[in-house]
Structure 1
Amino acid sequence: MSEVKDVAASVRSPRTESFNFGPWTITSVKGHILKSQQLERYHQELELPQLPEMLFGDNVLKILNTGGYGMEFNALDSMKRVDAHNAPFKVAAAQKWQEARSDCEFINKVVKPFDWTYTTDYKGTLLGNLQESPTDQRIDMEKLKVREKIHFYEEMTLFEDELADNGSASLTVKMRVMQSCFFILLRFFLRVDDVLIRIHDTRIYHEAGESYILREFTSREKSISDLKVEPSLYTNPTEIAEHLDITAEQYDRIDFPQADSEMT
């Protein structure tokens, strides 16, 4: 009987995987969708009356330097960037969404509207004494297209919601580590049926030997009525992205502490 319990516990436990890249340790933790009894912390720390249907609170991607600084990506911090006081727009889909969630005790207590699309401009969580500043430097995307052996790859979902069958909202993070660099893509994808498609992409790049990370954030969106593509593309973020309009861009250089720059 104890063996059966041990197996069940191992199934429920998050999977942890680590990889070393020079002075960096990359840790990936992947678990299951949080159950209602596990969501208390989120309700305590967030003002949101309702959370995504599929919230992977155990999922964390963490990149930590031996100097004690780095970055991580997690669902809780991404939720903190969702507007808890204003609805994005009033459309039929919003009413359908609320009706579908009418049995939620938190929804019924709402005085003010909130962003039920869970749009977030989360760019990752910085750890340690890192310095952010605007930059004219750009990630060399052509260099990233060069075939180089991938030593580590990870892809995980932080949250996902079907918007009560009125579309989809999700936040995913992908990372690959090559011999000369690592690259991360954090993507928020939103589709509200018959309304719009929105994509927030955060690209993060570090080249081995450099004392900084480049981070590029791009926001794109377009009304579905203005899209001149096959509807089959609506559910493919990679394909539809090039057909959306850029609404915001931000380019940052994240410098490491000077005392540790030689360690990179």
Structure 2
Amino acid sequence: MNLPLISSMNPIMSTYPTPSNPSSGVQTFTTPNKTWQISTRKLPILKAGPIEALNTRIGIPIPEMIFGDNYVRLTHVPSGWTLDFNAADALDRVSKTEEGMLQVAVAEEWKETRKGQQEGIEGVVKKFDWSYSTDYRGTTTTAAAAEGKPGEEGWKDTTAELSPIRTDLLSRPDPILFFDSVDLYEDELADNGIALLAVKVRVMPERLLILSRFFLRLDGVVVRLRDTRVYVEHATNRVVRQYTAKEEGYEVLQEKLRRTGVAGVAEALRDANVVGPLLRIVEEGTDVFEVG
């Protein structure tokens, strides 16, 4: 099922951000009924020291461009419940075993570009999914989580039910009260493609939508999308989260694009919005969280 994407609209930027200031680079919007709050943070890519610390924490080499201070956060104001999207937790969901790895020749090229990061973690690197594919669906924090219980515990699987995301309402030309787009990490895979994780959010007067999208294009091998959509009606305490994973072989997708008559197949392969409808669904699911 194709759901509406999030259009572009640039919010007002603050003064030049610095990582040492917790409020630096942060933008916050609260819904008119004071129930939900969206916060985003955008800072420059990490420097050597924080990269080394993150590398040690996660146990795998870090992408070329890592925005480790960035986040998109949804907060239920009355309870303090949050759903957070950040680079560190997303990378921690990358496979550290042989399962799911892309066993292709360009993996060796990639390892050559990461020699400096491999010291001390050689055993992990050999089993690491160097495409940075992640099934990350956000980090949930609740009162129970603060007491040491998993934040994911309160999500109820509703995959078997009809999709509760109101695509008809999202398609309406409602005014956009707040929009932002936040990059979490990016890697060009030794010049063989791109792996990109980014999050967009838009808030309308009665509802909001967050789209966390991982896009992988490995030239000659595969194109992959992993989308997490979070939907909230402001008047409710219900958070809907829908995850969809799609992919297709590179040459198969090339042929599909040619059959559609698209102008410029090579350029189209770089556009997730163009290739998305042509990819096979390999996994999908929906869950909800009743806050409060």
Fold shared per TM-score above 0.5: yes
- Structure 1 vs Structure 2 CA RMSD: 1.8
Give SS of 1:231's match: helix
> What's the counterpart of residue 67 of structure 2?
56
Query: Offset at 1:103?
Result: 4.0
1:237 aligns with 2:272: yes
Matching residue within 101, 118, 143 for 1:88: 101
Structure 2's unaligned 5+ residue stretches are 1-14, 144-150, 258-264
> What's the counterpart of residue 39 of structure 2?
27
> What's the counterpart of residue 134 of structure 1?
157
Equivalent residues in 2 for 1:34-73 (5 A)? 34-48=46-60, 50-66=61-77, 67-73=79-85
Give SS of 2:246's match: strand
Give SS of 2:155's match: strand
Query: 2:291 is matched by which residue type in structure 1?
Result: F
1:118 aligns with 2:144: no
CA contact (8 A) 1:102 1:108 kept: no
Q: Give the distance between the partners of 1:224 and 1:180, measured in 2 at CA.
A: 40
1:208 aligns with 2:224: no
Higher strand share: 1
1:248 aligns with 2:260: no
Structure 1 residues 105, 47: CA separation in 2 closer, same or farther (over 3 Å shift)? closer
Matching residue within 217, 223, 238 for 1:197: 223
Structure 1 residues 127, 103: CA separation in 2 closer, same or farther (over 3 Å shift)? closer
Q: Give the distance between the partners of 2:16 and 2:182, measured in 1 at CA.
A: 19
1:99 aligns with 2:112: yes
Q: Give the distance between the partners of 1:101 and 1:208, measured in 2 at CA.
A: 45
Query: 1:140 is matched by which residue type in structure 2?
Result: R
Q: Give the distance between the partners of 2:27 and 2:17, measured in 1 at CA.
A: 15
Query: 1:39 is matched by which residue type in structure 2?
Result: I
Q: Give the distance between the partners of 2:35 and 2:121, measured in 1 at CA.
A: 50
> What's the counterpart of residue 18 of structure 1?
28
Matching residue within 194, 202, 212 for 1:186: 212
Equivalent pairs, count: 248
Give percent identity, aligned residues only: 33
Structure 1's unaligned 5+ residue stretches are 1-8, 258-264
Q: Give the distance between the partners of 1:224 and 1:102, measured in 2 at CA.
A: 28
Query: 1:183 is matched by which residue type in structure 2?
Result: L
CA contact (8 A) 1:84 1:113 kept: yes
Query: Offset at 1:25?
Result: 2.3
Query: 1:211 is matched by which residue type in structure 2?
Result: N
